[in-house]
């Protein structure tokens, strides 16, 4: 089941505003998740009404399948090389446009695609806007080999930052261990609040079994927040004005 534009007015409002940012000739990154799915539907509708040259790279197998099924041209990131724009959802957006992503377990490819783009734009509903990151669990992708020792190193790092006794859960879906598109595992960290996101990211970078974490720091350029009434608002930081 994919999310269609009718599923959620706020997501749809954000998606429709983001579709306007897509210009002929662009190379475009497509995100993952329910909001990104609505965007893919709206983009495909626009392309049907008014076809133009557009090459897309997807951040997950699921998005690639959806986009292709709706007639969009999807190629690998390596075929496209560098992207003009990536549009993706997020689990949390803070006032500096730092994000938590990975609720759908795709944050590794999402970060690779976002970092290979001139601009990353997030589309979200108002429930994703937070003052401080951390209420949503922080996903950390780890390789299966030795994952318990990786978990122990993460725990030690959290202790060092004063984030003691925070639950860490191996992600499962329908009682089976969740595997990412890259064949890795996800540990979900219930941190409650992350006062020191850059320090935490540095700790993850020093743990060999961690492939990538869901903190997107200084990557997003603009967030479009849709509202239930069909309007949307833009969040930008001063340096991106
Ligand atoms: C997937 C993601 C998604 O963008 C994030 O989970 C938001 O999803 P949704 O739009 O369904 O709320 O990071 O890895």
Nearest CA to ligand 1 atom 7: 90
What is the reported pLDDT for 215?
98
Question: Does 234 participate in catalysis according to the annotation?
Answer: no
Smallest Cα–Cα separation from 25: which of 54, 46, 58?
A: 54
234 inside domain? no
User: Containing domain of residue 68, as a range?
Assistant: 9-130+218-228
72 inside domain? yes
What is the reported pLDDT for 235?
86
71 with 190, same domain: the answer is: no
Q: Looking at 82-91, 178-187, 196-205, 231-240, which range is the least confident one?
A: 231-240
106 with 78, same domain: the answer is: yes
pLDDT in tens, 41-50: 999 999 999 9
147 with 224, same domain: the answer is: no
206 with 224, same domain: the answer is: no
63 inside domain? yes
Structure tokens at 83: 């992207």
CATH code of the domain covering residue 207: 3.30.70.260
Query: 3-class SS at 34?
Result: helix
103 with 183, same domain: the answer is: no
pTM of the model: 0.96
28 with 99, same domain: the answer is: yes
Are the C-beta atoms of 211 and 108 separated by less than 8 Å?
yes
What is the reported pLDDT for 1?
57
121 inside domain? yes
- What is the spatial distance between Cα 113 and Cα 115, in angstroms, rounded to a whole number? 5
Q: What Rg value do the Cα atoms of the chain yield, rounded?
A: 18
> Which atom of ligand 1 is nearest the CA belonging to 35?
10
Nearest CA to ligand 1 atom 1: 104
Mean pLDDT (whole number) for 188-192? 98
Ligand 1 centroid from CA 109, angstroms: 12
Instruction: Detail the DSSP E strand segments found in the chain.
Output: 27-30, 55-58, 83-88, 92-93, 99-100, 117-124, 138-142, 168-170, 172-173, 176-177, 185-189, 210-213, 215-216, 222-226, 232-235
What is the reported pLDDT for 236?
80
Nearest CA to ligand 1 atom 10: 35
90 with 163, same domain: the answer is: no
236 inside domain? no
77 inside domain? yes
Percent of the chain with pLDDT over 90: 94
Ligand 1 centroid from CA 4, angstroms: 15
pLDDT in tens, 197-224: 999 999 999 999 999 999 999 999 999 9
What is the reported pLDDT for 240?
60
- What is the spatial distance between Cα 68 and Cα 60, in angstroms, rounded to a whole number? 12
Question: How far, CA to CA in Å, does 138 sit from each of 101, 111, 154, 204, 235?
Answer: 8, 14, 12, 12, 22
Residues with CB under 6 A from ligand 1: 31-36, 88-91, 101-107, 110
Choose the catalytic residue: 65, 75, 92, 110.
110
Question: Does residue 183 have a pLDDT over 80?
Answer: yes
What is the reported pLDDT for 241?
54
What is the reported pLDDT for 7?
82
Mean pLDDT (whole number) for 152-172? 97
> Which atom of ligand 1 is nearest the CA belonging to 88?
4
93 with 170, same domain: the answer is: no
> Which atom of ligand 1 is nearest the CA belonging to 123?
10
99 inside domain? yes
27 with 99, same domain: the answer is: yes
Domain count, the chain: 2
Structure tokens at 119: 């601009």
241 inside domain? no
CA 184 to chain CA mean position, Å: 17
115 with 205, same domain: the answer is: no
Burial class (CB in 10 A: 0-12, 13-18, 19+), 7: middle
Ligand 1 centroid from CA 124, angstroms: 9
Ligand 1 centroid from CA 148, angstroms: 26
Q: Which of 30, 89, 111 to mutate to test the pocket of ligand 1 (most atoms within 8 A of CB)?
A: 89
Question: Does residue 239 have a pLDDT over 70?
Answer: no
13 with 49, same domain: the answer is: yes
> Which atom of ligand 1 is nearest the CA belonging to 100?
13
Q: Which of 91, 105, 212, 215 to mutate to test the pocket of ligand 1 (most atoms within 8 A of CB)?
A: 91
Ligand 1 centroid from CA 147, angstroms: 24
């Amino acid at each position: 089941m994919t999310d269609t534009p009718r599923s959620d007015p706020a997501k749809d409002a954000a998606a429709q505003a983001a579709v306007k940012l897509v210009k002929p000739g662009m190379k475009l990154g497509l995100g993952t998740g329910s909001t990104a799915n609505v965007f893919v539907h709206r983009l495909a509708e626009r392309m049907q009404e008014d076809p133009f040259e557009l090459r897309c790279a997807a951040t997950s197998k699921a998005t690639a399948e959806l986009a292709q099924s709706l007639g969009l041209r999807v190629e690998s990131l390596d075929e496209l090389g560098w992207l003009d724009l990536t549009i993706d959802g997020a689990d949390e957006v803070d006032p500096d446009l730092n994000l938590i992503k990975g609720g759908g377990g795709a944050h590794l490819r999402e970060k690779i695609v976002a970092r290979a783009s001139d601009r990353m734009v997030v589309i979200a509903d108002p429930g994703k806007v937070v003052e401080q990151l951390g209420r949503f669990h922080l996903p950390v992708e780890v390789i299966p080999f030795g994952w318990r020792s990786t978990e122990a190193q993460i725990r030690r790092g959290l202790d060092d930052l004063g984030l003691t006794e925070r639950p860490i859960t191996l992600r499962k879906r329908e009682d089976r261990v969740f595997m990412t598109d890259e064949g890795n595992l996800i540990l979900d960290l219930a941190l409650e609040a992350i006062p020191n996101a850059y320090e935490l990211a540095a700790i993850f970078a020093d743990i060999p079994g961690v492939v990538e974490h869901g903190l997107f720091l200084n990557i997003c350029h603009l967030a479009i927040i849709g509202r239930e009434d069909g309007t949307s608002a833009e969040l930008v930081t001063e340096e991106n004005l």
